[in-house]
Structure 1
């Protein structure tokens, strides 16, 4: 069984659906129930370590078989949704509790949602180069981003303590459901509407694919991966966007006119990730 924390969120809903479609047994652990009432769910406050380790151990008919891994998506999901100290405390403590409960129970397969914000979002100042990738050190600009960077640092130490453990952090871009794609053409009149994350996004279904691929990976240790769609949200070509907002920013490598500027090359190479969805296909259909 795979426990998915935060199963009621955007990425969580898609993740549960994808895991079930690929034959996995799942249970959603969250303060809110998942949208699909057929999915097993238990209400757990992950900021309480006792509740966390109890939930990962057994919950009657909800968690009744051996837990093989954790997908940790639960968090206050963006800056500004609570006071800064509440976001930092909630996200950092809950992530610690998930990692520590898994360690004590010898659950060694963990995939969790880090964030694109660790890369320095919002890009009020130009990024150091484009496309931005995992080689760029974390540059948190908010309490939310700092909480995610703390999770990445904790993962390294947990895997040092137990080298058989895998903790992969996915730096998910702005998660989008297909229903939002009708908004995208409205971004074109002003490049600054979406420059805060270099015009990137991630279809929830592709986020779910990346989570499953990370979970199925036989690698061990702590690692992080940028997860975005293959294209950006704008119809305008990248060169025009960069000239308008970030003139002179260095190009680390050549890239296509509409290619994502949050590099997914590492996820492609290591996980076999390949985005299958695009707002352009949805628009055309």
Structure 2
């Protein structure tokens, strides 16, 4: 049994679908009911329970067993529940909700002996929105430059993961720094970005298809590594048809390049995820 917090969100829906299609038993924990859930549930519906993950007691209860929903041993946690982006709530609330919920998930997993945790970190730790430009491109996991309370909450999650993994050497806690998540229907907007490089410069013109985010989650769950790890997760190409060098010269002149850039390669490096997890993006906005 895999428990997914935030299973009703954009990545959560894709992850639940992807994992269930591959034979995993899934329980979704969220405060929002999944769209299309039947009453009573159909055999194809995800097991859903409403819970507040900022409440440690509710997290412990949900992870340890829910009548008719969580009865099999829990072998992994996918923690996606959070305030999903900067500006969705006041700064202090974003920091509080995201930090406390992540602590609750890590601590409940530790107490219950669940040693396989995958969670959503964020591309914002690379320095989004890059007021002074990126440190270098492609940005990679060595960069940690939070600019908002949102990205600061994700940094706290990464630091907590290091300590929880230190306390239990057999634990695996993998943080995935997702780029801006897109669903297939969102690709209709991409042609409108082409006229102005600044329309999507805030995250270096990168994106992640929700279905590829789900693939990365599954690969992280299945990985045999132990300890705390962080991986950049993006698609292999940019949202733009113009080349990277021209885009950078226009918007972020003087940005150091770690290597000669391919015209449309992702400026979030996914090399570590490829090497360690076997991640290979399968979906592309270009036909």
Shorter-chain TM-score range: over 0.9
**Pairing 1:130–2:133 present:** no
- State the shift of 1:34 in Å: 1.9
1:31 aligns with 31
Once the two structures are superposed, the pairs formed by residues 142-157 of structure 1 within 5 Å of their partners are: 142-157=148-163
Can you list the C-alpha shifts for 1:230-277, whole angstroms capped at 9, x where unaligned?
Answer: 000011111110110111111101221000000000000000000000
1:67 aligns with 74
CA distance in 2, matches of 1:186, 1:154: 40
1:6 aligns with 6
Once the two structures are superposed, the pairs formed by residues 250-265 of structure 1 within 5 Å of their partners are: 250-265=256-271
TM-score by length of 1: 0.97
Other structure's SS at 1:169 match:
strand
Once the two structures are superposed, the pairs formed by residues 100-179 of structure 1 within 5 Å of their partners are: 100-136=107-143, 138-179=144-185
RMSD of equivalent CA atoms: 0.7
CA distance in 1, matches of 2:60, 2:10: 25
Other structure's SS at 1:3 match:
strand
CA distance in 2, matches of 1:279, 1:108: 36
CA distance in 2, matches of 1:231, 1:267: 15
Aligned length: 280
Can you list the C-alpha shifts for 1:173-229, whole angstroms capped at 9, x where unaligned?
Answer: 000001010110111111111111000000000000000000100110001000000
Asked if structure 1 preserves the Cα contact closer than 8 Å seen for 2:78 and 2:118, the reply is: yes
- State the shift of 1:35 in Å: 2.4
Can you list the C-alpha shifts for 1:11-66, whole angstroms capped at 9, x where unaligned?
Answer: 00000000011110000000012224211100010000000001000010011110
Can you list the C-alpha shifts for 1:65-116, whole angstroms capped at 9, x where unaligned?
Answer: 1000100000000011101110000000000000000000000000000000
Which segments of 5 or more consecutive residues in structure 2 lack a partner in the other structure? 38-44
Asked if structure 1 preserves the Cα contact closer than 8 Å seen for 2:32 and 2:50, the reply is: yes
Asked if structure 2 preserves the Cα contact closer than 8 Å seen for 1:113 and 1:169, the reply is: yes
Which segments of 5 or more consecutive residues in structure 1 lack a partner in the other structure? none
1:22 aligns with 22
CA distance in 1, matches of 2:242, 2:159: 37
TM-score by length of 2: 0.97
CA distance in 2, matches of 1:195, 1:19: 33
2:105 aligns with 98
Asked if structure 2 preserves the Cα contact closer than 8 Å seen for 1:27 and 1:39, the reply is: yes
**Pairing 1:181–2:187 present:** yes
In the TM superposition, structure 1's runs of 4+ consecutive aligned residues that sit over 2 Å from their partners are: none
